[in-house]
């Protein structure tokens, strides 16, 4: 039976194959088509188009004695013929790609097959699916289309459904996340609560008041002074290129991460971002393996913070156009930052944990015990660490806060990493030559790949080994208490 186009999500329940939207190969192969068109134009420019222009303008004589009108007609005919050939070949290739790009789903797996010459097939077990992101790049968004990034547990075990009409994509997302079974009933709508919203003005201000802006400003001053000193016109290309690069940097960050919204859906965190191309992803707290609160030094007077995370699985199609959503909050006040910690790490919702987190971010490590951090539940950098990390030795250390191991590093860019004990994969103590000469060691927690750093330097070796044993015992206890049976997947909307 010839697969039909998927128009209703409920059709997937039967396990039959369906094709995606007919524009899928065009949207996915548009770059290739533009490349072919560019190569064809470059070939025609020098051989036909440029010569015709020069003959018409009288700059170049027609050595062959042909009439200019015939030359233009021949040129236009040649261009038209080439365009027709490119369109026919592209349409044929795109049609074949669309014919073989199919999807099916049963109670066990979601499967995608595609490829004309090199065929490929990807499967994701439904009971291993963590979450599904809805991506809407600019062109598909204008056409009312979206793609689904199905993120499953495992290394590169994700499946991408691109493209579907936006309403159908939302229905398919709900259908995939429903509990597999012979009979699927309608579920109650979930309650969506708006938690945080980053205003465009504050986000743009955070980009202007940033380390990157300081770097661009320094380069601009240097290139401007050089241009004034040399008194050469070409020297002004440096300041112009710097300004252009800075504007490009601001525009890229502003349009890609602007319109940042955080919602909570029955305990899960939904992150929405993007002005032109939008991306929405729901992140269960269990998928967060590490959380990092950071503050670059230009933000200190403004009291702003940034929150990043290491997630259990990242999109298989991850690239510059597909955000991994490891950025959970681009800029936030202290109150908003603590609210984000509450949403991502429910075990830190008590007042004592909040006070300890605030103390570790705002005071030196020697004062942590005065703010509620038990002395036996922390380790700080040795006094000898000032020869290894002179700026941050006074704030470096690690502590147990609730069911989380916190690691504090950095002074110019203050960082506090929070790693749930049940998510710790392993821990280690290591010594480099410089550390060994000073009798110091570094302590690290192993986490999934991501932007969060889980390593502290400059610990006294004996203290580092004691802390290693403490964290190991707490990790074993936390893993033993974690439920080993997989709970049935709840129905979602």
Condensed to tens digits (0 to 9), the pLDDT of residues 273-312 reads 988 888 888 888 888 999 999 999 999 999 999 999 998 8
**pLDDT tier, 23 (very low <50, low <70, confident <90, very high otherwise):** confident
Please give the pLDDT value at position 58: 61
Q: What is the mean pLDDT of residues 226-239?
A: 85
Please give the pLDDT value at position 38: 66
pLDDT surpassing 70 at residue 487: no
Q: Which residues pair with 269 in a beta bridge?
A: 264, 283
Percent of the chain with pLDDT over 70: 80
Please give the pLDDT value at position 28: 75
Sign for the CA dihedral angle at 432, 436, 438, 441 comes to positive
Q: Which of 32-36, 310-314, 365-369 has the lowest mean pLDDT?
A: 32-36
DSSP output for 349-396: -SHHHHHHHHHHHHS-GGGGGGGT--GGGEEEB-GGGGGTSTTTGGG-
Cα–Cα dist 398/405, whole Å? 7
pLDDT surpassing 70 at residue 189: no
Please give the pLDDT value at position 6: 84
What pTM value is reported for the model? 0.79
Q: Quote helix, strand, coil % in the chain, to nearest 5.
A: 45, 25, 30
Please give the pLDDT value at position 457: 94
Q: What is the mean pLDDT of residues 344-366?
A: 90
Please give the pLDDT value at position 308: 94
Please give the pLDDT value at position 129: 82
**pLDDT tier, 236 (very low <50, low <70, confident <90, very high otherwise):** confident
Beta-sheet pairing, 18-19 with 4-5 = parallel
Q: Which two tokens stand for residue 488?
A: 């049935």
Please give the pLDDT value at position 182: 40
Q: How many CA atoms lie within 13 A of 473 on its CB side?
A: 7
Q: Which span out of 1-5, 103-107, 261-265 was modeled with the highest average pLDDT?
A: 261-265
Please give the pLDDT value at position 80: 67
Please give the pLDDT value at position 314: 57
Please give the pLDDT value at position 31: 55
Cα–Cα dist 76/64, whole Å? 19
State pLDDT tens for residues 335-349: 999 999 999 998 898
């Amino acid at each position: 039976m010839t697969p039909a186009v998927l128009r209703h999500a409920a059709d997937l329940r039967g396990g039959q194959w369906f094709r995606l939207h007919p524009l899928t190969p065009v949207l996915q192969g548009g770059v290739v088509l533009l490349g072919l068109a560019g190569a064809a134009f470059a070939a025609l420019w020098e051989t036909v188009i440029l010569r015709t222009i020069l003959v018409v303008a009288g700059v170049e004589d027609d050595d062959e004695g042909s009439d200019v009108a015939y030359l233009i007609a021949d040129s236009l005919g040649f261009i038209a013929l080439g365009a027709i050939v490119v369109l026919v070949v592209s349409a044929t290739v795109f049609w074949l790609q669309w014919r073989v790009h199919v999807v099916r789903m049963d109670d066990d797996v979601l499967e995608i097959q595609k490829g004309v010459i090199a065929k490929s097939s990807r499967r994701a077990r439904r009971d291993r699916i963590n979450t599904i992101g809805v991506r809407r790049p600019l062109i598909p968004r204008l056409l009312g289309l979206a793609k689904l990034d199905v993120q499953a547990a495992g290394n590169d075990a994700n499946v991408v459904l691109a493209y579907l009409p936006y309403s159908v994509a939302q229905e398919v997302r709900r259908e995939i996340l429903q509990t597999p079974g012979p009979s699927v009933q309608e579920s109650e709508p979930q309650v969506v609560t708006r938690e945080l919203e980053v205003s465009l003005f504050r986000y743009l201000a955070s980009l202007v008041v940033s380390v990157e802006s300081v770097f661009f400003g320094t380069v601009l001053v240097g290139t401007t002074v050089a241009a004034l000193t040399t008194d050469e016109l070409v020297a002004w290309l440096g300041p112009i290129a710097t300004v252009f690069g800075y504007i490009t940097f601001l525009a890229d960050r502003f349009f890609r991460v602007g319109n940042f919204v955080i919602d909570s859906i029955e305990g899960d965190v939904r992150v929405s971002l993007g002005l032109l191309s939008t991306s929405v992803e729901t992140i269960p707290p269990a998928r967060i393996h590490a959380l990092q609160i950071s503050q670059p030094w230009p933000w200190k007077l403004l009291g702003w913070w940034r929150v990043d995370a290491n997630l259990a699985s990242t999109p298989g199609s991850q690239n510059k156009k597909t955000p991994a959503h490891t950025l959970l909050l681009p800029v936030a006040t202290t109150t908003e930052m603590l609210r984000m910690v509450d949403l991502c790490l429910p075990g830190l919702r008590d007042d004592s944990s909040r006070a300890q987190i605030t103390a570790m971010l705002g005071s030196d490590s020697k004062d942590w015990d005065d703010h509620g951090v038990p002395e036996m539940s922390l380790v700080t950098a040795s006094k000898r660490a000032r020869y290894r990390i002179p700026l941050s030795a006074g704030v470096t250390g690690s502590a147990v806060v609730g069911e989380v191991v916190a690691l504090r590093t950095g002074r110019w860019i203050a960082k506090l990493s929070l790693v749930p004990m049940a998510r710790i994969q392993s821990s280690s103590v290591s010594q480099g030559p410089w550390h060994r000469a000073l009798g110091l060691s570094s302590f690290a927690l192993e986490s999934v790949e991501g932007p969060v750093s889980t390593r502290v330097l400059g610990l006294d070796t004996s203290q580092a080994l004691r802390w290693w044993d403490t964290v190991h015992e707490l990790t074993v206890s936390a893993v033993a208490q974690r439920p080993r049976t997989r709970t049935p997947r709840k129905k979602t909307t």
